[in-house]
Structure 1
Amino acid sequence: MSPQSHDDLTGARVLITGGAGFIGTALRTALTRAGARPVLLDNLSAYGPTTLTLLGTGPTDPGLTVGDINDEPLVRRMVADADYVVHAAAHSSVHGCTTDPQTAIRSNLTGTDTVLRAAAASRNVRRLVLLSTAQVYGHGAPHSLRSEQAGVFTEDQPLDPLNIYANSKLWAEGHTRQLLGLAERDYTILRPFSVYGPGQVPKQGAASWVVAQFTMYAALGQQLLLNNGGRQVRDFIHRDDVAEALRLCLTAPAASGQTLNLGTGAQTSVRQVAEHVASHFPDVEIVDAPRVAQDPLGACADTTRMRTVLNWQPSTGVADGIDAYVRWVRTTPNAIPDWMRAETSTSRINAWSAPIPR
């Protein structure tokens, strides 16, 4: 490729692992708009055909390679052809990782190692961006359980993951620093907070993704269950903002070797989300429910480093974002999965009980 300015992705080949997912497909759109050539790698295990179609991908997508990140020959070939790598592939549901830790280990640890070793061996990769999670912070302070709303999570504070998913992402962060650092390869680690937006479809048994869950349950006329009374707080960041931040991370000089929060810096309680969703569905009932095991009480992101490194900040506020999601669900009723239609409040609470690893 010919020399480029640091923010120019024209013609750049960008491999996105987990590229058929909620964030991966949004990133593809942002990269294509920027003139890059995104290539997706995904085993299509996260979603069914309907959701994949809503995300604009599927087995016949010409820009998608259906394959596994544990397929070392495949990964090495695809990484060797890439100028940049975004590693977003993961077994990403807390409930899924807890009930099936073997899959979590295979995907989030072994698969991540495969991708990182391929990047370390490649002479072409200019930077790898690892998608981690804000769940690595846990409740925010080791061995404490705060009953009140928290403040701010900063990148350098102590970490205390509460579940297998968060633990696996913390391992991936350390492995990225060690492996790519030794190979003198460039990388950036991102910790997204609560990502939401059109195209997001909840996964069965999970208590997260409350914007999507509340909206779809409200559209079905079901109760909105507030675990822990909805006192948990989240920093909700729109899918399109996440994609834009990822795009910027690929080339921003100051992002080299950095670990960045990816959020808005605004704190919103789960109850506030339920109430905002319910304002669109006046007949829907909001009900308190037991706290879900391994569910962080939450905080918002300290975005100082993100704003400084990327010279950027998110553009979508949570109220506008929820309104847009409600409009999307109303105009895309087939987005609501069949398993949600068959649920009751009791079955949902039972599904959220601490699962036993298999």
Structure 2
Amino acid sequence: MYHRSDLAVLSGATVLVTGGAGLVGSRITAQLRTLGARPVSLCTMNAYPDHVYADLFGVHASTPDVVLGDVRDAALVRELVGKADYVIHAAALADVAACTRQPLAAIDTNVAGTQTVLDAVAATDRVRRMVFVSSASVYGDGNPEETDSPDLLTMRQLMETVHGRIPPQFHEFTRMRPKSVYGNTKVWGEGQTALVLGQVGTSYAIVRYFSVYGEPQTIKPHSHSWVVAWFAARAHLGLPLHLNGGGRQVRDLVHVDDIAEGTLRALISPRAHTEIVNIGTGVPTTVRKVAELVQGHYPHTVFLDTPMPAGDPLGGYAAIRKMENVLGWKPKVSVAEGVDRYVDWLRSTPAAADWLRQATAV
């Protein structure tokens, strides 16, 4: 196994993080600073109100290493990439519901923007490795015709007994069958990364994030993603929890601290060269289970079954053997611990639920 000290090779390195002001990007840049690296964040900073970036994510537009800009700005991207030792491309329209509502915007940012970054990386020999941030959404609901391996049967049969459905385990070789516009853009991004950077011999790695959560994640209007944040905020305000489709969807919930560390390990691990790696826990958790964990903190919370929104997959969980072998690492924060941490943070940061509080007061 690797140890934390192995990330010390990043000390002194300049790392361009597109989307570096968001939840994941800001946590990656914070870890990079701790390691003695110089992160440069490229972000539009228009996905949230200004106070979210400053007060919750700790990102200030006036900071020298924060560049306000768009990944589709070819000249700006070329300039920043030309000064970087490593690149993490995390910028995207990442809200599944928003991508469904605005497919052209998703294509513009997630496809055209990714091509701009790839062109810039391919044009320089300075970048040691680029990590493309993909998503478990590429798997959709999995492949029903695939045969279960014997070591999965006990867990799957238990889940089937409890929840009426056997959740698929997603391996990196599992056929991609996205159910959303967002997932489609990530499939394209993976293939294009391999094509463009493979042709010029630039090292790359592709990481498929499973369901990211954790403080200081905050909810946004018209989104059904981010189940821990949504449930905790609603319960905190005494509102019922909406279980879309009865809450039988399965998610592999990965705390943002682990997501950030896994991404950095993909950036420097020799074995991650040209590899696709899941970043997950290997633990299937139903949406209803998340609701029950939140209800444990707010005992008077009630559940309401609601319809399944478009593009919301029934989901599955990560196969993590390759992650453990390639990165020499696995996530540390359990779902129960992560929910506890989020609720504690929300209670100490009540302003995080202000938008929902105002919306439900009218």
Q: TM-score, normalised by structure 2?
A: 0.91
Match of 1:322 in 2: 339
* 1:336 alignment partner, SS class: helix
Q: Deviations over 1:205-227 (max 9, x none)?
A: 11111000000011111100101
The 1:194–1:6 alpha-carbon spacing in structure 2 relative to 1, beyond 3 Å, is closer
* 1:261 alignment partner, SS class: strand
Match of 1:26 in 2: 27
Q: Shift in Å at residue 198 of structure 1?
A: 0.5
Where structure 1 has 5 or more consecutive residues not aligned to the other structure, the ranges are: 348-358
Q: Shift in Å at residue 143 of structure 1?
A: 10
The 1:187–1:286 alpha-carbon spacing in structure 2 relative to 1, beyond 3 Å, is same
Q: Shift in Å at residue 83 of structure 1?
A: 0.2
Where structure 2 has 5 or more consecutive residues not aligned to the other structure, the ranges are: 1-5, 147-159
Alpha-carbon distance in structure 1 between the residues aligned to 2:7 and 2:309: 44
Match of 1:313 in 2: 330
Structure whose residues are more often helix by fraction = 2
8 A Cα contact 1:50 1:335, kept in partner: no
Identity of aligned residues (%): 44
Alpha-carbon distance in structure 2 between the residues aligned to 1:279 and 1:64: 39
Does residue 1:238 correspond to 2:255, yes or no? yes
Select 1:224's aligned residue among 204, 226, 241. 241
Match of 1:181 in 2: 198
8 A Cα contact 2:7 2:264, kept in partner: no
Q: Shift in Å at residue 341 of structure 1?
A: 3.8
Q: Shift in Å at residue 58 of structure 1?
A: 2.9
One-letter amino acid matched to 1:46: A
Superposed, 1:192-207 pairs within 5 Å as 192-207=209-224
8 A Cα contact 1:142 1:158, kept in partner: no
Q: Shift in Å at residue 203 of structure 1?
A: 2.3
Select 1:261's aligned residue among 273, 278, 284. 278
Q: Calculate the aligned-residue CA RMSD, in Å.
A: 1.8
Q: Shift in Å at residue 186 of structure 1?
A: 0.5
Superposed, 1:1-358 pairs within 5 Å as 8-53=9-54, 54-141=56-143, 148-339=165-356, 341-343=358-360
Match of 1:356 in 2: none
Alpha-carbon distance in structure 2 between the residues aligned to 1:303 and 1:94: 24
Q: TM-score, normalised by structure 1?
A: 0.92
Q: Deviations over 1:258-279 (max 9, x none)?
A: 0000000011110010011011
Q: Shift in Å at residue 62 of structure 1?
A: 2.6
Q: Count the aligned residue pairs.
A: 340
8 A Cα contact 2:71 2:117, kept in partner: yes
